[in-house]
Amino acid sequence: MQWIVGILLLGCCSTPFAASFDCGKAQTLVEKAICQNPSLSALDVELAAVYQAALQSIPDKSALREQQRQWLLSTRNPCQNETCLERAYQQRIDTLRTLMYPHLERNKESLSLRYERCMQQTEGVDHVMRACDYEETDFQEWRMQRAYQQLRKHLDQAQTASLQEVQELWQRYRDTHCYFLLEIDHGTLAQAMTSNCVMNLTKERAAKLEYYLEFYFND
């Protein structure tokens, strides 16, 4: 009840954040909560993007649409606080990524064969290569997050805190390192190099976390 009252009070005086739907037409308390919370709004946008990507990847689109409808009705909408909503969104995003990627073939360098085919068709065009990198980064990000979450299950509280700190430091390094080029050169070549850098470092981090799982926990 306290959460509901808070949302009603916020609705009268705060500015909605961007979400995947029109916040000006938000009607339910859950929709209003998403519009008033920047983290939930970002998760809603991310889920919408992953869902659309899944629709393009999965043959049985009608079944996926029905699953999404059921998730809204039975998992997201009954939530009574932000913690529940955040957990529901994160789990749904992970589920959709798992549906998209589990059988994606990879080469010996852990790049997807889909990425290889994509790059072969770019004809050296920068913005097309960036699109290939962005799609592959989504896959490598899924690999990394899956390994990260599995690794956490084997660790105690102190070890988990250390892992989280390392992961946050790594992400700051990746973003600072890869986006440095854009600070000195905004050309299309620099943009292509940046997207490729992000993809490759994410792939390397995913491989490292997977190695920890296999070497220390045979997982």
**162-179 per-position pLDDT tens digit:** 999 999 999 999 999 999
Q: At what angle do helices 82-100 and 38-57 cross, to 10 degrees?
A: 20
Query: DSSP code of 15?
Result: P
Amino acid, single-letter form, for residue 107? N
Q: For the chain, give every domain's residue range.
A: 2-100, 113-217
Give the model's pLDDT for residue 25.
83
Which residues, 6 or more positions from 27, have their beta carbon under 8 angstroms from its beta carbon? none
**21-74 per-position pLDDT tens digit:** 888 888 888 998 899 999 999 999 989 988 998 888 777 889 999 999 999 999
Q: How far apart are CA 52 and CA 61, in angstroms?
A: 10
Of the options 1.20.1270.180, 2.60.40.420, 3.40.50.1820, 1.10.150.120, the CATH number for the domain spanning 113-217: 1.20.1270.180
Calculated CA dihedral for residues 35, 40, 42, 45, nearest 10 degrees: -70
User: Is the Cβ–Cβ distance between 207 and 110 less than 8 Å?
Assistant: yes
Give the model's pLDDT for residue 13.
43
pLDDT at residue 9 greater than cutoff 80: no
Would you give the distance in Å from CA 9 to the centre of its chain?
Answer: 31
Other C-beta atoms lying within 10 Å of the C-beta of residue 68: 17
pLDDT at residue 3 greater than cutoff 80: no
**120-146 per-position pLDDT tens digit:** 988 888 888 999 999 899 889 888 988
Q: How far apart are CA 133 and CA 118, in angstroms?
A: 9
Residues of the chain with pLDDT > 70, as a percent, come to 90
